[in-house]
Structure formats: structure tokens, C-alpha cells
Amino acid sequence: MKLLEEIEEERKEIRNKAILTSITLVGLITGVFLQFTVGESAFFYTAFAVAYLAGGLTAAIGAFRNLLKGKLDIDLLMVLAALAAAGVGEIRDGAILLFLFSLASTLEGYAMGNTKRAVVALMKLRPDEANLEQPDGQLQRVKVEQLTIGQTIVVKAGERMPIDGTIVRGESAVDQSPVTGESVPIDKAVGDNVFAGSVNGYGVLAITVQKLASQSTLSRMIDLVTSAQAERSPSERFSEWFGSRYTIFVLVGSVVALVIFILFGVPISEALYKAATLLVVASPCAIVISVPAAVLSALAAAAKSGMLFKGGAALEEFGKIDTIAFDKTGTLTEGKMVVDSVTPILITESKLLQIATSLEIHSEHPLARSIINYAETKGIKPQGVSDAETIPGKGIRAQINNTHYWAGNRRMLEDSGLKLDETIKNILSELEAEGKTTIIIGNSTRILGFIGIADKIRDTAKEAIAELRKNGIKRIVMLTGDHATVAHAIG
């Protein structure tokens, strides 16, 4: 997890910058207080010395390193301006320059730290270790980075997939929403592919490694976000370009001014004072703070609202857009499957729910929990069952009071051998057309009803879309890895 270590190092650096900025501010305030109370005493100079060291030492070291490489940057000009201010007797103004400079650097680090939370969240989807299957069938815990193509790993129920691979043994329902956005767990069997970061449901899966950890779909997503965040906005690039040239211009200008003053007979001490004054007046404080502060404060404000921009360039382009694409799962919807409709046939709704929850309480499928939770809210308690049997990829069946019942999908319905009349066919088609995952409940002689499960649309989604249209967004699209019927049902 080299990238994660780098992010942690950056966090420490941001904390250190914040501490130094705070020390600079304390030194500045203390110095100003002493200046107006006891005058320019030893404590006065000590306070400002602390402010200068805390606010300028890091920048001075960086500027010196760049100078050794033949580069003149705006850090150098800021440090020289602060020293020049002290040299002409305006030590307070120099401390103010260094505080503002230090504050800008801290805010930049803080704002970029917020945007990198997206990278951390993605990386947490990827396990550090995997269960490698040995030739004798034993499992060995190994680092994911050590896995090679062709090896077989075992993923137990509830565990995340560590790599992209193909199932060679076992069946399960896999939650791929963190990677593909599909709201409903997908039934997987031998020959099906799985993605790193997705969650295994109820079964134990043996998977052949198809891609190295660094080449998985999840890793490529992390690389995309990381590289995008490093991109600087056009304004920031211009500010950086202008700053380097401005530094040279001001330094040369100060030297030229010094020479001119001396040639015109101005005493050397006074000429130095005037040249230093020019350096202070030409301080790049506004250049250093204005553009990055505007960009970074916008990035930070967006992050607080749950919006992450790929970088400053994306932020600046945002004002020109006329089209917005939304992810479905967890953005337009709540990202949680709930019972949306109950359609009983020739029995009461409560009876249908009781049969369904009596069966599903013995199932490990993620959708079963949706039905159980819904029945609990209605005060419906399950009955005792016998001979409960889960049919992977289809559903569950059991005996209730010596009567055979089952609950599942269309494949389970086909296995039952029951024939559907036109009315029941139409009900089933309507539920599926509405984008609902439909659980069919029946017994050995007929269909008892349907339970529609869906990812609920957020209450604020329609309001937000209307507000976007009001503000000039002409086209709004939805991106989803879900089935077309589900997508059309959302809108």
C-alpha cells in the first residue's frame, strides 16, 4: 500500500504546516502586543524571530534547493521580501507576509487532503491479504501483491474480492455496487467473472486470478482518481508561470534600482533602504494567495458538501458545462434495497409476507434481509419451517405446516413447473418494467404473490435535478451498471 503510505505522509505534512502556521500567528500577535505595550524589547524581537522561523524556514529551505537547481520561484521572493522588511525596520510587515504565505500553503494542503479522501475510500475496498489455495487444498494467507495470474484463491462469505478473477468453484450472490454501481447483488457461478472490491454474499468461492493486483479494475480506478487530482487548473498554471517570471523581474528591478540610486549619488545606506522598500512593496503576497485560495476554498467547500472534483482544472471548467451525468446507486438513490411493493394473489398481504419471511429467514441472500426487515415493520412474525433448502441462483423452498412453499426468481418459477395465466404474467411484467427485483412466492399448486424490491430514489433527487435545470443545465443523464429496466424506472 505504497500510495496509502504516501497519503499518510502528506497528512502528517499538513499537520506540521498547520502547527507552524499557528506558531507564526502566535509569534506575530505576541510581537504586535509587545510593540504597543513595552516597546521594542528583547521579548519583542524574540516573538518576531519565532514568527519568522516558523513561517519562513520551510519556504527558505525549498527556495534554496530550487536555487541550487537554477530555479527562481516565488518562495524565494517571499522570503527575501520578509527579510527586506525587517532590514528597513518593518519587521511586523515581514511577519505578516510570512504568516499569509504559510497560511496559503496550509490551506492548499488541507483542501487537497479532502479530495484525496476519495482515493483512501477506494483503497479501503481492496483487502490487503487473500486466501491462497495450496495444491493439498490448504489455505495460506498471503499479501494480495504476491498473487500471480493462474493461482486459485478462496473468498469466504462476507469477504471482499481481493483481485479480478474467474469463479472455478462455488456459487454466491456478489455485491458489485462499490465497483459497477449495480444496486442488486448479482448471482455468480462457475465461469463468471468477479471484480476486486466487490463483496461475496452467502457462498464460498474459489477464484482463479486473471489480473495482478496492480492491474485490477479497482486499481485502475484508483490510478485515474490519483492522476486527475494532480492536474492543476489553468489559473494555477498561469499563476505559477507568472510567479517565476515575476520573481526574476522584481529581483532584477531591485538590483537595477540600487545601481541607479548609487549612480545618482544617493548614499549606499539610503540606496539599500530604497531597493529593499521596492522589494517589500513588490511582495507577491496577492499572487501567492489569491488564485490558489479561490480554487482551494471552492474545493474545500465542495468536499464538505460531499462533492469531489478531480482537481482545479475540473473546477474551473465546471462553470461552462451544460450537461451533468449522475451515478445512480447512492447518488440518485439511497443505495439500499427495500421492499417497494407487495402484490398478493387470492390471499391477504399479511399472509403473503408471513410466508415469505418464514422462508427468507433461512436464506443468506442479501435480498432476504429486505423482506425480513419489511415484515418486522408490519409486526409480522415468521412461522416455523422444516426441510429448508437454498437453491443457489434461484431461491429457497421449505415446508410450512406440511405444505410446500418456495420463494425466488424466474428460474425458481420455471423449476416449479407452474403455468401462469395472462393476468399473473402481466403483473410480473409490470413489476419488472418498473425496475423492481421481483421475488415470486408460490406453493406446489399456484402462485401466491409477488414482492417488488428496489433501490429507493432519494427524496431530494427530483428537487436537485429541477434546480440544475433552472440554473442552465440543459442535459442530465444517468450512469449505471444496472439493467436497462431499472435505469428507465428511475427516469
**Residues labelled catalytic:** 327
- Secondary structure element (H or E) that encloses residue 54, with its range: helix 42-68
Contacts of 179 (CB under 8 A, 6+ apart): 125, 195, 196, 197, 198, 217, 218, 221
Contacts of 11 (CB under 8 A, 6+ apart): 113
Residue whose cell numbers read 452467502? 202
**What secondary structure letter does DSSP report for 197?**
T
Q: Pick the closest to residue 228 from 309, 146, 291, 330 (CA basis).
A: 309
The 10 Å Cβ neighbour count of residue 83 is: 18
- Residue 429 near residue 410 (C-beta atoms within 8 A): no
- Residue 244 near residue 74 (C-beta atoms within 8 A): yes
- Beta bridge mates, 438: 452
Torsion 17-23-29-31 (CA) sign: negative
- Secondary structure element (H or E) that encloses residue 55, with its range: helix 42-68
Report how far residue 44's alpha carbon sits from residue 259's, in angstroms, rounded to the nearest whole number.
34
Residue ranges of alpha helices (H) inside 378-483 are 410-416, 422-433, 461-470
